[in-house]
């Protein structure tokens, strides 16, 4: 019996052991399953974090783009508003156009003493002050022919005035807008003309440089007339030529027309880089490009010029001028387009007022690079002047 029951007990023990081991494995499997689900949840959380970070980064980038576009749009609207406002401002304040035409407030080169032309290399030049009207004083430079530079050292104004009666022709030079009589390119032209044996008399219109007064077309013309009469009172029978450059061509034709009407014309008129009239010049100026096709351009920009009393009508003046006329113009002139100089010549040449006088147009090829104010550099200029004026070239310094 003992032998029979033993196996049964062992068998029960084995079953219990096997039962306990099976229940333990089941618990272990359950624990493993729980850990797996937890890991999956953790993994799921880990994978969603980068996704939310990318979304946030994208939102920030979009925000920056919107902010940049907003600022850009604001700038564009401001520029557009300014662009549209300017024509109305000019129309309401015509004086703005006058200032832009004269540019007398632009003084270049800066920091030069106009009382000392020798500082600009003109050691044979005297500075004067004349008074065309009671409340107007204008600064004048008189450069004598360079062959006299030694004799001129230390001489006073009276000596220079007396020198005008010497046997040398005189050029009254009328400069353009902006700057002063001491402008670099102007000084270089005085030197060239002086070396050719000419007296050169130039001045700053009222309101320019150290001249006192308010700029206007009438005032500029009257200043030029006063200086011309001052020269003629001292020059005897010497020829007097008038040379105008750019805006100075408008002053020159105004002056010469008046001189011809009173039957005291100059011996010749030289126009460098001339235009037809100030309206056409303003319309052709490079600064007008951004408004040239603006609706009502003439009404906004050109009519205020006329209402300010500014015409500088070269095309009309040349019909009343009776003296030799020489026009010099560079093809690459960016300020006064070449076609305006050519047009002025085409108006003057057939005019009855010039039927007894020589009218000549001299172009300078664009390859030469003379542009608006460097024609004085031309080695042909002495020959052009000699042939046009119809006289032998004045004595030159050796």
The residues that are catalytic are 246, 333, 372
Q: Show the tokens assigned to 56.
A: 């946030």
Instruction: Give the 3-state secondary structure percentages of the chain, helix then strand then coil, rounded to 5.
Output: 55, 15, 35
d(CA 373, CA 330): 9
In the block, residue with structure tokens 């040239």: 292
Q: Please, is 139 exposed, middle or buried when counting C-beta atoms within 10 Å of its C-beta (0-12, 13-18, 19+)?
A: buried
Q: What is the DSSP secondary structure assignment for residue 81, as one 8-state letter?
A: H
Q: Please, is 52 exposed, middle or buried when counting C-beta atoms within 10 Å of its C-beta (0-12, 13-18, 19+)?
A: exposed
CB 273 within 8 A of CB 243: no
Q: What is the DSSP string of 198-235?
A: -EEEEEPPTTSTT-BS---HHHHHHHHHHHHHHHHHHH
Q: What is the DSSP secondary structure assignment for residue 299, as one 8-state letter?
A: I
With a CB cutoff of 8 Å and minimum separation 6, the contacts of 83 are 290
Chain-centroid distance of CA 23 in Å reads: 100
């Amino acid at each position: 019996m003992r032998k029979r029951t033993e196996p049964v007990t062992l068998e029960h023990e084995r079953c219990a052991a096997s039962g306990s081991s099976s229940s333990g494995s089941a618990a272990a499997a359950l624990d493993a399953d729980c850990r797996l689900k937890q890991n999956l949840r953790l993994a799921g959380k880990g994978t969603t974090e980068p996704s939310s970070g990318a979304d946030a980064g994208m939102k920030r980038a979009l925000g920056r783009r919107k902010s940049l576009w907003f600022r850009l749009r604001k700038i564009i609207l401001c520029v557009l508003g300014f662009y549209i406002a300017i024509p109305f401002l000019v129309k309401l304040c015509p004086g703005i156009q006058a200032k832009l035409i004269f540019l007398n407030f632009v003084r270049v080169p800066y920091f030069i003493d106009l009382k000392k032309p020798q500082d600009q290399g003109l050691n044979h030049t005297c500075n004067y002050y004349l008074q065309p009207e009671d409340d107007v004083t204008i600064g004048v430079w008189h450069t004598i022919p360079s062959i006299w530079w030694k004799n001129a050292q230390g001489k006073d104004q009276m000596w220079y005035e007396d020198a005008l009666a010497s046997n040398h022709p005189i050029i009254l030079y009328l400069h353009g807008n902006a700057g002063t009589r001491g402008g670099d390119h102007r000084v270089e032209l005085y030197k060239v003309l002086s070396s050719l044996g000419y007296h050169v008399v130039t001045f700053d219109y009222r309101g320019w440089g150290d001249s006192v007064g308010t700029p206007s077309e009438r005032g500029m013309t009257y200043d030029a007339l006063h200086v011309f009469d001052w020269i003629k009172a001292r020059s005897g029978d010497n020829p007097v030529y008038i040379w105008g450059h750019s805006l100075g061509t408008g002053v020159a034709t105004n002056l010469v027309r008046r001189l011809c009407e009173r039957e005291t014309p100059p011996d010749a008129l030289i126009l460098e880089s001339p235009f037809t009239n100030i309206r056409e010049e303003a319309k052709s100026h490079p600064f007008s490009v951004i408004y040239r096709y603006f609706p009502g351009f003439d009404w906004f920009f050109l009519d205020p010029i006329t209402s300010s009393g500014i015409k500088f009508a070269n095309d009309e003046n040349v019909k009343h001028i009776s003296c030799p006329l020489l026009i010099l113009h560079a093809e690459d002139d960016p300020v006064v387009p070449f076609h305006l100089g050519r047009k002025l010549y085409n108006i003057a040449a057939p005019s009855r007022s010039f039927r007894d006088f020589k009218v000549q147009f001299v172009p300078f090829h664009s390859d030469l690079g003379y542009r608006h104010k460097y024609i004085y550099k031309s080695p042909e200029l002495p020959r052009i002047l000699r042939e046009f004026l119809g006289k032998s070239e004045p004595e030159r310094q050796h």
